[in-house]
């Protein structure tokens, strides 16, 4: 079950919650004030991936590496 991060537009609380289906995503409520006025946040992993020109996370190996032990 994926964990998503949300921000409450009413009280500004940021929280994480399990969302097992699209219908569950429509029923997410703030854990502090119980408002349904929430928005899904973009995760830091997604942000880093979007900024990468190769599509690989920073520090990931690309292509062959001389340290692999194979020639």
Per-residue confidence (pLDDT) for residue 3, from 0 to 100 = 87
Q: Comparing 41 with 54, which gets the higher pLDDT?
A: 41
Q: Comparing 21 with 36, which gets the higher pLDDT?
A: 36
Residue 27 falls inside a structural domain: yes
Residue 61 in this model has a pLDDT that exceeds 90: no
Residue 46 falls inside a structural domain: no
Residue 67 falls inside a structural domain: no
Residue 15 falls inside a structural domain: yes
- C-alpha to C-alpha distance for 2 and 19, rounded to whole angstroms: 6
Residue 64 falls inside a structural domain: no
> Token pair of 63, please?
């292509």
- C-alpha to C-alpha distance for 36 and 30, rounded to whole angstroms: 6
Structural domain containing residue 21: 1-33
Residue 11 falls inside a structural domain: yes
Per-residue confidence (pLDDT) for residue 24, from 0 to 100 = 85
The β-bridge partners of 5 are 16
Residue 61 falls inside a structural domain: no
Q: Give pTM, 2 decimals.
A: 0.57
Residue 56 falls inside a structural domain: no
Residue 70 in this model has a pLDDT that exceeds 80: no
Q: How many domains does the chain have?
A: 1
């Amino acid at each position: 079950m994926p964990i998503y991060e949300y921000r409450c537009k009413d009280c500004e609380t940021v929280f994480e919650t399990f969302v097992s289906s699209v219908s569950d995503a429509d029923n997410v409520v703030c854990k502090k004030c119980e408002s349904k006025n929430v928005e899904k946040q973009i995760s830091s992993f997604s942000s880093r991936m979007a900024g990468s020109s190769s599509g690989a996370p920073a520090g990931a190996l690309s292509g062959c590496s001389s340290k692999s032990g194979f020639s």
